[in-house]
Amino acid sequence: MLKAMIKTLRIRQWPKNGFVFLAVIFDLKLTNTEAMARSLAGFLIFCLLSGAVYVFNDIRDVQADRLHPKKRFRPIASGKLPISAAYLEAAVLLAVTLPAAYFLAPLFFFICLAYFLLNLAYSVWLKHIPLIDVLILASGFVLRVGGGVSIIQVVRFSPWLYLMTLLLALYMGFGKRRAELSDLGGTTSTQRKVLGGYTLPFLDQLITIVSSTTIIAYSLYTFSAPNLPEDHSMMLTIPFVVYGIFRYLYLIQVKHEGGAPEELLLTDRPLQLTVLSCGLIIVLIFYIVR
């Protein structure tokens, strides 16, 4: 049962919570021990909190998951984790994470609470509404960034990063919906009602709009944000961002992958090298050349 409880937390999806570290990276506090420790604590809190969300979501969807070819193997759907034990697990996670969040920073607590309640509403109702479903998922990434900002004293953090986080999350969200619909041959799924509100051409249009806007927004950020080097050296990262966006588009439209963007990041080597290279250049520009 312990293994089933751990599996229900979906540790493979925890890298999403890395958006908490955007504040400490872009506010030039990577070398600040206290800021890094607080950001790490915030990351762990979000990991456990998102785990509680996954548990509640699996409890809510247990009947539908049992009919799904892949999801039926999830611990709750397969019966390896009784529903009563799952409720207890989620309650313990909330009892640990929310007080810890308040201890770290009161504002961080309210952000975490908003994240949990929003995802709870998503699991019960909002995930069945086309467009709203992806917007809610994207807002979760923005809340992660805001959480990272709330636990350290930021000086140079640009609001552009909130916009780019939202756009990037929308891009991945619509890409995921496209991959799910493509796997079904473009037909409506009885297990995912929200897919009935999408078509492949419609999703392709949304992906085109969001990906183009993301590239434009990031390009504007690299030479207009006041906290960046005056020599505009951050523009050197634009090609990596463009390639990363194109690579993800290639994976979902040509390779027919992308049902789980976080798994692509863990398995696709070109995408990993792109993220790593872009991150190294940012660190070089912010912490060495500057």
pLDDT category at 78 given cuts 50, 70, 90 is confident
| 235: nearest Cα among 220, 245, 248, 213 | 220
CA distance 197 to 229: 45
Crossing angle for the helix pair 83-104 and 106-124, nearest 10 degrees?
Answer: 150
Tell me the HSE value of 142 on the side-chain side, using a 13 A CA sphere. 18
Q: What is the pLDDT of residue 264?
A: 81
Q: What is the pTM of this model?
A: 0.90
CA distance 70 to 135: 25
Query: What is the mean predicted confidence (pLDDT) over 175-199?
Result: 77
pLDDT category at 261 given cuts 50, 70, 90 is confident
Residue 32 has what DSSP assignment? Answer: -
Q: Which of 94-98, 181-185, 248-252 has the lowest mean pLDDT?
A: 181-185
pLDDT surpasses 90 at 260: no
| 262: nearest Cα among 9, 8, 15, 7 | 15
Most confident of 41-45, 62-66, 76-80: 41-45
Q: What is the pLDDT of residue 30?
A: 87
